[in-house]
Amino acid sequence: MYSSKISGLGFYVPDNIVTNHDLSKLMDTDDAWIQERTGIKERRWIKEGSGDTTATMGVKAAKIAIERAGIDKDEIDFIVFATLSPDYYFPGPGVMVQKELEIKTVGALDVRNQCSGFVYALSLADNYIKTGMYKNILVIGSELHSRGLDKTTRGRGVSVIFGDGAGAVVLSRSESPKHGILSSHLHAQGEFAEELIVKAPGMGTRWVTEILQENDPNDESYFPYMNGQFVFKNAVVRFSEVINEGLQANGLSVEDIDLLIPHQANLRISQFIQHKFRLSDDKVYNNIQKYGNTTAASIPIALTEAWEVGKIKEGDLVVLAAFGSGFTWGSVIIRW
């Protein structure tokens, strides 16, 4: 059985910076209120007419990752794209990336696991490579939240959190069993699906034709809903469990962690986990302060940025962990 390693990383975020002060002009909020609850100072939202979409942002991140991997785009033999905000209801953005990169007719798979999407996508790619099915897999997490948020006081509890952006990695076959992805661990608990949800449009709830026919300005079903306190309480428990699960599966301890990169859901969740595991500041990487929660894109953006600033070196133990809508959660243990 082969091993898989991350051979290239890249990320892209829109140029348009939206500060907490900017949001205070749209809704009843202020910088202190947002930072106290989320730790976020600013986020990136696309500008209308910029051409940025979930797929095109993914392409921009992918081009950087492919170049850094030192391979030709035609050496990519599979694509996995994680998102909750596809350009179209169908088809998914994976095929759009294949088209825009002009890659031969390789397979393209879309993963709809929201905040855990990149962890799930990376796990899938890892297992494809380990079985020998593929050699170089492009794994992307990309989100365009800003066009689907309720930017009024009614929706401030959710809308202040989310940002737009994309991250990508090239996962490649390796002959070294001691380096690369050591293991991944995935979980779900569907009984809490409606605690963090966008209900419409959906075939089983209310479809687009019904929403248009009713034309109800008070209809909130197509905006994100989150039971914030309930999500927080579950997140800190599941984060801890799945990190420990990954360490134990590899005979490792918390002391072996060189860098933890948690999904950037809320700085308070990350700080809670850091405190619980007694990790120093230099062993946890957070960038939610400047990008907000970019869901499936948050881990690849943070991973790329951490690598770019020299916080990851060869031989380091890097732990990725995520929790989000579904509920779904997971971890990936990597020996760099």
Statement to judge: residues 45 and 146 lie in one domain = yes
Statement to judge: residues 186 and 166 lie in one domain = no
Residues annotated as catalytic (active site), given as ranges: 115, 263, 293
Statement to judge: residues 154 and 213 lie in one domain = no
Collect all residues with Cβ–Cβ distance below 8 Å to 36 and sequence separation of at least 6: none
Residue 209: the pLDDT is 83
Q: Supply the mean pLDDT for the chain.
A: 95
Residue 215: the pLDDT is 84
CA dihedral sign of residues 219, 89, 121, 52: negative
> CB of 163 within 8 A of CB of 292?
yes
> CB of 41 within 8 A of CB of 169?
no
Pairing of strands 165-174, 3-12: antiparallel
Domain final residue, candidates 157, 176, 195: 176
The angle, 0 to 180 degrees and rounded to 10, between the axes of the packed helices 267-277 and 228-249 is 40
List C-alpha distances in Å: 45 to 18, 117, 159.
Answer: 7, 20, 11
Q: State the pTM of this model.
A: 0.96
Provide the residue range defining the domain that includes 107.
Answer: 3-176
Residue 168: the pLDDT is 98
Statement to judge: residues 228 and 250 lie in one domain = yes
Task: Give the integer Cα–Cα distance in Å for 188 and 199.
Answer: 19
Residue 203: the pLDDT is 78
To which residue do tokens 């809903």 refer?
225
Statement to judge: residues 140 and 236 lie in one domain = no
Statement to judge: residues 131 and 148 lie in one domain = yes
> CB of 196 within 8 A of CB of 226?
yes
The number of domains in the chain is 2
Domain final residue, candidates 131, 156, 176: 176
Residue 253: the pLDDT is 97
Please calculate the CA angle 79-207-87 and round it to the nearest 5 degrees. Answer: 30
Collect all residues with Cβ–Cβ distance below 8 Å to 218 and sequence separation of at least 6: none
Pairing of strands 136-143, 78-82: parallel
Residue 176: the pLDDT is 82
CATH for 7: 3.40.47.10
Alpha helix ranges (H) inside 250-287: 267-277
> CB of 320 within 8 A of CB of 331?
yes
Statement to judge: residues 116 and 255 lie in one domain = no
In DSSP notation, 204-264 reads TS--HHHHHHH--TT--TTS-EE-HHHHHHHHHHHHHHHHHHHHHHTT--GGG-SEEEE--
State the number of CA atoms in the 13 A half-sphere of 325 facing the CB.
Answer: 18
Statement to judge: residues 114 and 139 lie in one domain = yes
Residue 177: the pLDDT is 79
AA letter at 335 = R
Residue 82: the pLDDT is 98
What phi-psi label fits residue 306: left (phi over 0), alpha (psi between -120 and 50 degrees) or beta? alpha
Residue range 65-85, pLDDT digits in tens? 999 999 999 999 999 999 999
AA letter at 239 = F
Statement to judge: residues 83 and 139 lie in one domain = yes
> In the chain, which stretches have pLDDT less than 50?
none
Taking Cα atoms as reference points, which of 273, 299, 278 lies closest to residue 287?
299
Domain final residue, candidates 146, 176, 206: 176
Across the beta sheet with 165-174, what order do the strands follow? 3-12, 165-174, 136-143, 78-82, 107-111
Residue 315: the pLDDT is 96
Residue 223: the pLDDT is 85
Both tokens assigned to 33: 């209120």
Residue 175: the pLDDT is 84
Task: Give the integer Cα–Cα distance in Å for 206 and 221.
Answer: 8
Statement to judge: residues 149 and 286 lie in one domain = no
Statement to judge: residues 40 and 159 lie in one domain = yes
